[in-house]
């Protein structure tokens, strides 16, 4: 979470086809295309993905400090892994973000809700924390905000990357939005929730029923995607728990 992101440039999702034009008005976005446009094109070609049809999904794993970019062509059922990026810094501990200033990186089901091409942290992609679950389970009126995937490799609650990495990820997201994807889903997990890892976490944090309950919900989504390469359906219950199918 960075209050220092202000002053803040918010680019709202606009009519498909014009979003990229608006983004290219900013020098860092133009530089990102100059530096990373070719590598993006090669990754798309290698995975038989079309720039005009691309739909993205992002998964992040806090313990492993990794962020995965998945993609598919509009109309396809399954996603393909495009690239895995390093999350180059971290803060807090395993577990969700529950209040402003706790240094926690959120955990849960989110999406990209804004682009900041003039960020103090180079380029940044906003995550819609707090989501409906966070608002139920977090500290009322003190939830914090301004959670981003961004550059400069510093954090007190965000997912930071190097500037070279954020250039590529950012323009991927520009292309998906420009092509008509209204939301890029982002799932943030405590770790890769294999059966063994989930058992380890459940035993280690067994006294913290709230954490284990969240991780139980997250594991459902993790397992569904790993098995089908399709996004799970996620609903938010009044208790703050999730209905995942």
Active site residues: 150, 158
Residue 130: asked if its preceding bond is cis (omega within 30°), the reply is yes
Q: Could you please report the per-residue DSSP string of 171-227?
A: HHHHHHHHTT-S-EEEEEESS---HHHHHHHHHHTTT-HHHHHHHHHHHHHHHHHHH
For residue 37, cis peptide bond before it (omega within 30 degrees of 0): no
H-helix or E-strand spanning residue 34: helix 27-46
Contacts of 197 (CB under 8 A, 6+ apart): 191
What 3-state DSSP class applies to 85? Answer: strand
Beta pairing, strands 108-119 & 184-189:
antiparallel
Query: What is the DSSP secondary-structure string of 207-220?
Result: T-HHHHHHHHHHHH
- Extract the tokens encoding 121: 């942290």
Token pair of 3 as six digits: 């209050």
193 forms beta bridges with none
Distance of CA 227 to the CA centre of its chain: 20
Cβ partners under 8 Å of residue 154, min gap 6? 89, 121, 160
CA distance linking residue 161 with residue 153, whole number of Å = 5
């Amino acid at each position: 979470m960075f209050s220092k992101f202000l002053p803040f440039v918010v680019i709202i999702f606009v009519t498909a086809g014009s979003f990229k034009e608006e983004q290219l008005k900013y020098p860092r976005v133009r530089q990102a295309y100059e530096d990373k446009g070719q590598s993006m094109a090669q990754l798309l070609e290698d995975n038989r993905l079309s720039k005009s049809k691309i739909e993205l999904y992002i998964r992040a794993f806090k313990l492993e400090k990794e962020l995965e970019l998945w993609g598919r062509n509009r109309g396809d059922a399954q996603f393909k892994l495009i690239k895995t990026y390093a999350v180059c810094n971290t803060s807090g501990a395993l577990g969700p973000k529950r209040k402003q200033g706790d240094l926690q990186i959120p955990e849960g089901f989110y999406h990209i809700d804004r682009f900041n091409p003039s960020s103090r942290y180079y380029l940044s992609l906003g995550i819609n924390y707090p989501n409906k679950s966070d608002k139920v389970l977090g500290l009322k009126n003190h939830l914090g905000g301004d959670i981003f995937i961004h550059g400069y490799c510093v954090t007190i609650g965000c997912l930071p990357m190097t500037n070279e990495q954020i250039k590529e990820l950012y323009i991927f997201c520009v292309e998906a939005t420009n092509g008509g994807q209204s939301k890029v889903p982002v799932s943030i997990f405590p770790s890769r929730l294999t059966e063994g890892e989930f058992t380890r976490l459940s035993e280690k944090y067994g006294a913290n029923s709230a954490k284990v309950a969240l991780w139980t919900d997250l594991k459902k989504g993790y397992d569904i995607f790993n098995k089908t390469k399709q996004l799970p359906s996620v609903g938010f219950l009044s208790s703050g728990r999730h209905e995942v199918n």
